[in-house]
Structure 1
């Protein structure tokens, strides 16, 4: 990855972390995770290799785990690399077919990340979940709509930011 690409990824992850940190002041057990929107945008703009996208996901997972008040923050260390890989695979599959490929890739990446997070949390802390929810199904029913809502919001954000960001990057590379 070129140094300019590393800078783009770093800046977008930093912006995502700042927005995530600021969102923690909103009361409630669950807050939107815009780190995903920004790392997906970074993946879409840079189109890293498989190893590089895993690295982006790991860094995003660390950021999310540190800035989280979720039920099991370490799950981010698994869910964010999964989300980053799915975003890359989706974007590369659709980039030449659809003008909304950034939105599709971000939607898929966020859904993969959120679903992975839910599964890891269910496996790792089942007793804690069952102390707050009547059944695992109730936990899934409560959390999956939030994952879907976050995925839709992240897809819209990434699509809106893609054009101006890609133009700025094109100027810098010319």
Structure 2
């Protein structure tokens, strides 16, 4: 379980220090509005998810990570970025597949942090975990997440209905397309600079 680093960020594996950050972020209506039923999470729901995140790491060797500033000037968790086993059926996508996602504290929106973190996790999925395909889902009104998906090289796959009846847009990135983009340095935006 190594810590990923990028030009500006440190992305450590999930542990108990992130429990309160998960409670804080998931309770923020600006973040929760695009998560499932759109309601902020209560503490019990967040703590249950925290336990699931730790169990996912134990079972699969990858999962959620905190997003911290690399220079250490701000000790706060700026958000989370995650690789997960895909938890729902998506037409045209066969298992095994890894899903990527992220949340950034609204105080740090517009700084490119989600894109930088997502690019690092994208590369981790293909290099460390042998992913053949990476999948991301978002609610169409969440334009910022869609932009991040496109910036890290993902392409629209289609639309599905989520577990709460919400519309979900599906984006994918195949290993072959990721490898081709890495071969052309200008196309590999936000590549991980080093890993600890």
Alignment TM-score, normalising by the size of structure 1: 0.33
Q: Relative to total residues, which structure has the larger helix share, 1 or 2?
A: 1
Alignment TM-score, normalising by the size of structure 2: 0.30
Q: Relative to total residues, which structure has the larger strand share, 1 or 2?
A: 2
